[in-house]
């Protein structure tokens, strides 16, 4: 069963519980009447039944956009009682066009980076001047396929009994993924609810969507048009191979042609370029700002040099895409959500290279903005904690659509308590983590190793405080345990927990 109705699972659970209680109370009432023939007691029982009937009626009422229910894990901060007021920066209820620009492999710490006197991401910085800017945004799992799921479903990844295919190398291709292994999962996702509202739905990617079954997953969840490198290279001048895919500029003109087809309906479009993905190629020397390789540089050091160039190139593609959309008047009533799927590590911590091996800041702390020149004549800075699971409920809040029972996130624009943010990876070690205000706690379930960091005084996560602050460790270890149990129960309720216990 897909959760696509305004009557939430909470109402069903309440109804089932209250019916059971009502039956019990009726039976008790009959017994008391037989034994005691006490009119006052029987009237008291009837009063209780009326109270439960009223509660049942209330539970059946439509949930508010920020409502919670039994499937949502409470992630209210344990370290802060801060609340964020609702923001009216984006007027609610309009059928805005929605663009999600999934920027590849980009930790937030590189936003202000300059190399040889040049800004590495000048277009990001330009767009931030006319945007809602979330400074503390996180990926919930540092892998693209998992980011897609977090964003489209507002759900956390499962606990895996057998994370990788037995007898094979433990990498992203052999990892069990919802996108690959459970494409028909019974969760109503963002493209589906927008499709039902009358939106056109599009997805553009410059690699093959056959990878880990992504095309099948997208088709299952109601995308009208899906273009990857195989179609784009036939429609664009930028059709040369680049790394695993093709030049990311191949997204721009075919994407614009599709968006212009029918302006009578709003569109939901996902732009998903491949760079700056390993091995970090660039199509032209003009994007080389890091200079020649250093003598005696290690493999990882040279990868970082190449990455900086590729990041600069990817930023140029972002700028070109937005500029062309503006030239075609496709941004007048459009909200452009720009964020990175995950970060990228270069041995800032021992053994932590690329993205999936850890959940340190370089892996999971990523930029996030909502761009619109008319709505944001100046930057709107938001310093609360946010994550990928918040994107779907934010869009629903803006469009005045009800929140679905399975959703784990909160609208970044609604009144809300400061939350904690949860992370997980299989890299191949299974690591879970939580960020709560100043504290960040990581627990390696494979090696039974804990780490605690004070992000106010140690943003680079170099000084492990586990031994010094056992009470805080205990507090957040309980959060990890609660998250672990919640994920198991969540997937039991959705798909019976197949392969996920």
Residue 67 DSSP symbol: -
Q: Which residues contact 238 (CB under 8 A, 6 or more apart)?
A: 246, 247, 248, 249, 250, 283
Q: pLDDT tier at 126 (50, 70, 90 boundaries)?
A: very high
Tell me the pLDDT tens digit for each residue of 154-207: 999 999 988 999 999 888 889 999 999 999 999 999 999 999 999 999 999 999
Tell me the pLDDT tens digit for each residue of 424-479: 999 899 999 999 999 999 999 999 999 999 999 999 999 999 999 999 999 999 99
Residue 39 burial (CB count, 10 A): 9
pTM, two decimals, is 0.86
At 497 the pLDDT is 60
Residue 151 burial (CB count, 10 A): 27
Average pLDDT rounded to a whole number, residues 243-265 = 95
User: Residue 275 in 3-state DSSP?
Assistant: coil
125 or 56, higher pLDDT: 125
User: Rg of the chain's alpha carbons, rounded to an integer?
Assistant: 25
| Cβ(121)–Cβ(111) below 8 Å | yes
Q: pLDDT tier at 42 (50, 70, 90 boundaries)?
A: very low
Tokens linked to 128: 């931030």
Q: pLDDT tier at 70 (50, 70, 90 boundaries)?
A: low
Q: Is the pLDDT of residue 344 over 50?
A: yes
User: Residue 416 in 3-state DSSP?
Assistant: strand
Q: How far apart are CA 276 and CA 128, in angstroms?
A: 20
Q: pLDDT tier at 4 (50, 70, 90 boundaries)?
A: very low
């Amino acid at each position: 069963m897909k959760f696509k109705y305004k009557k939430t699972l909470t109402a069903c659970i309440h109804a089932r519980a209250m019916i059971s209680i009502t039956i019990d109370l009726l039976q008790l009432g009959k017994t008391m009447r037989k034994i005691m023939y006490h009119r006052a007691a029987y009237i008291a029982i009837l009063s209780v039944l009326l109270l439960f009937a009223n509660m049942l009626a209330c539970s059946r009422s439509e949930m508010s956009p920020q409502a919670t229910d039994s499937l949502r894990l409470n992630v209210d901060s344990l370290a802060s009682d801060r609340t964020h007021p609702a923001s009216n920066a984006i007027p609610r209820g309009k059928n805005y066009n929605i663009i999600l620009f999934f920027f590849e492999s980009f930790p937030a710490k590189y936003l202000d980076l300059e190399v040889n006197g040049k800004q590495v991401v000048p277009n990001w910085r330009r767009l931030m001047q006319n945007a809602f800017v979330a400074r503390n945004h996180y990926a919930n799992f540092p892998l693209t396929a998992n980011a897609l799921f977090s964003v489209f479903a507002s759900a956390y990844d499962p606990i895996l009994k057998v994370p990788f295919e037995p007898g094979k190398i433990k990498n992203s291709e052999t990892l069990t993924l919802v996108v690959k292994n459970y494409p028909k999962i019974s969760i109503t996702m963002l493209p589906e609810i927008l499709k039902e509202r009358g939106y056109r739905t599009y997805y553009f990617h410059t690699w093959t969507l056959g990878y880990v079954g992504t095309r099948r997953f997208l088709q299952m969840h109601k995308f009208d048009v899906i273009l990857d490198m195989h179609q784009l290279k036939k429609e664009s001048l930028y059709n040369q191979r680049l790394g695993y895919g093709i030049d990311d500029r191949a997204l721009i003109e075919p994407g614009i042609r599709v968006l212009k087809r029918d302006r009578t309906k709003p569109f939901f479009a996902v732009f998903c370029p491949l760079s700056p993905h390993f091995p970090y190629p660039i199509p032209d020397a003009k994007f080389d700002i890091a200079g020649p390789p250093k003598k005696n540089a290690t493999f990882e050091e040279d990868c970082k040099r190449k990455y900086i160039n590729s990041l600069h190139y990817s930023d140029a593609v972002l700028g070109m895409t937005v500029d062309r959309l503006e030239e075609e008047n496709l941004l007048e009533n459009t909200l452009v959500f720009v964020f990175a799927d995950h970060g990228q590590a270069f041995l800032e911590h021992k053994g932590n290279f690329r993205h999936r091996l850890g959940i340190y800041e370089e892996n999971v702390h990523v930029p996030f903005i909502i761009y619109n020149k008319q709505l944001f004549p100046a930057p709107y800075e938001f310093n609360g904690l946010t994550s990928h699971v918040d994107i779907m409920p934010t869009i629903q809040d803006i469009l005045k659509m009800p929140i679905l029972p399975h959703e784990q996130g909160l609208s970044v624009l609604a009144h809300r308590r400061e939350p904690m943010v949860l992370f997980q990876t299989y890299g191949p070690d299974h690591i879970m983590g939580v960020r709560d205000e100043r504290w960040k706690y990581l627990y390696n379930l494979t090696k039974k190793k804990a780490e605690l960091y004070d992000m106010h005084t140690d943003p680079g996560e170099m000084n492990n405080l586990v031994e010094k602050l056992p009470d805080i460790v205990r507090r957040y270890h309980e959060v990890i345990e609660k998250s672990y149990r919640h994920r198991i129960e969540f997937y039991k309720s959705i798909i019976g927990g197949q392969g996920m216990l």
